[in-house]
Chain A
Amino acid sequence: MPENSIETKQKLTKSELNLSVVMKSQQQTEEKNLNLKNPLITASGTCGNGKELADFYDINQLGAFTTKGITVEAQPGNKTPRIAETSAGIINSIGLENPGVESFIEEILPETKNYTLPILANISGYSEQDFINMAEKLEGRAELAGVEVNLSCPNIKGGGMVFGTDPEKVFEITKKVREIYSGYIIVKLTPNITDITKTALAAEEAGADAVAMINTLSAMKIDIERQQPLLANTFGGLSGPAVRPVAVKMVYQTYKKLEIPILGLGGVQSGSDVIEFMLAGATAVGIGTVNMIDPAAGPRIIEEIKEYMLRHQIKNLSSIIGAAH
């Protein structure tokens, strides 16, 4: 029997597993790709700016890090209560509390200099011009691998989600950002829409390198004792395990229609959930709400992915992307 056939029959060991994925760029050159050592990317607004998680683990173990959403001007955020709990989910209406793009560049970005993983800045706006301003300010910042254009925040009046439900607006804003910003661009899409594939295709056509789906589902909770909405802002966005099946469906539905990679997210709690998103067609997978409950979730999920790979004898994790189709 030839030697190599014996080798193929040997069981894979943990050290042989390759979890890396490549988020290809539309810009056609390899150096524009986003290379991740594993598919895990922190979801914006669930990990602060990284240092809060440092007590629990070294975030450099992750694929990439997304910062808390920023806007042109500083925002105080919504009134409290800003969070409500529901079965297997939370509804938040933080309202993009952030120090503004200038402070982000001066104070937050320098703090990321010890990170070896790619950093993505999440940007939100109240107008097309806001996105242009931020793209201009962030262009050329060596600390950043790219930006995540948030066209889907449900918690700002007249903001993100309004753009994110209109494929034409998604196209226009993405195109403007693309003309200015030369790094990697991910467009984050809202699920609060009839057909998410339309906004995904609009982002792709306008030059986005990838799309992220899904942002939170518009939701509310009523305090039946006070007989009033629980959130000060009345409405918020639902996240957590409750939304995962919706997100998986949208990734699955979009995968075949799109050339560019998908960052899938929504209620991921475990390695199994990451696998599910990848089978549906996600190249990378976001972890959000889980960080609020289990701050050390990142390394745990990576171990769980490895266990799945060993169980199924998968050497390259990227081989399962879209495999459920």
Chain B
Amino acid sequence: MFKIIANREVGPGIFQLVLNYDQLPQNPKPGQFFNIKVSQPGSDDPLLRRPFSIFDFDAAEKKVEFIYRVVGKGTKILSELEAETELDVLGPLGTPFSLNENKGNVHLIGGGMGIAPLYYLSKKLKSRNQKVYLGAANQAELEFFAEKFKGLGVELHLAAMEEKLEIKGSALVLWLNYLEKNIPDYVYTCGPEKMLAAVEKEALKNNIGGQLSVEKRMGCGIGVCLSCSCETKAEDESNKRACVEGPVFGLGEVVLSA
């Protein structure tokens, strides 16, 4: 069983969920997710679990953290749960980021809630030569993330759509501004699919390797229902499941809608 230690608002409609666990089948890796049942025992509403990528993990404290935005019925119910509540949680699930330890200069580009998995990733990357580009609607949405990343000692750049931070615009535009004079060895990105498609295009054009994490509407999270199939660019046109072969894919691996 998992027990809620904290579930608090850290930005407008953005919550930090900290869970304490008894045991895990294995320690989660950056990019993996947990599938959480938010309805109370005996309730069928909502029926499906909700997948959340890992924001942070602490094996010594037996703690796993998530950041989520309240967008619908499931996250609304979750946001109202109090400390000490027990939760039915499956995981860790999915394929993690590969950490590519030999890569020198690494860029992390995160948009909106797509920032969440990049924090645990940033912490685990061997290379400390990391430049992190984050974007969201406004400063209030970014504040919590910015404080956390500053604590890691990485080079941090921030952009917001509604107000001027470093620029007024998206994480993508912010990153592109820097890219000309600063080509990285490797990129990691997570956020809206259009942003992923643009980062992928630009990276491949510049012969930069990297990985991205997709967000797909999931059913089961364990690979049985094929709700989250992603088209691939493979010759045999085979599909890959975001929940098993993903959510992390190599650049150029799956078809993204630009």
Contacts and interface: CB of A to CB of B under 8 A. Distances in A.
Contact of A241 (B25, B44, B219, B228): B44
B48 A85 contact: yes
Contacts of B237: 76
B216 interface: yes
A83 B229 contact: no
Q: Which of B47, B218, B231 has the most CB of A within 10 A?
A: B47
Contacts of B238: 99
Given A46-B224, A52-B222, A76-B239, A82 B229 contact: yes
A87 B45 CA distance: 6
B192 interface: no
Interface in A269-307: 269, 289, 291-293, 295
Nearest to A240: B47
Given A77-B239, A85-B48, A48 B223 contact: yes
B45 A88 contact: yes
Interface in A65-90: 68, 76-77, 80-83, 85, 87-90
A130 interface: no
B12 interface: no
A46 B48 CA distance: 13
Nearest to A295: B222
B227 A82 contact: yes
B37 A293 contact: yes
A92 B244 CA distance: 19
A220 to B, nearest CB: 15
B220 interface: yes
A123 interface: no
Interface string A43-73: 0011110001101000000000000100000
A205 to B, nearest CB: 34
A42 to B, nearest CB: 9
B233 interface: no
A69 to B, nearest CB: 10
Interface string B194-220: 000000000000000000000011111
Given A81-B217, A83-B217, A295-B220, A94 B46 contact: no
A99 B229 CA distance: 13
Contacts of A81: 217, 227
Given A88-B47, A240-B44, A76 B231 contact: yes
A80 B256 CA distance: 12
Contact of B227 (A52, A68, A83): A83
Interface of A: 45-48, 52-53, 55, 68, 76-77, 80-83, 85, 87-90, 92, 94, 97, 99, 240-241, 269, 289, 291-293, 295
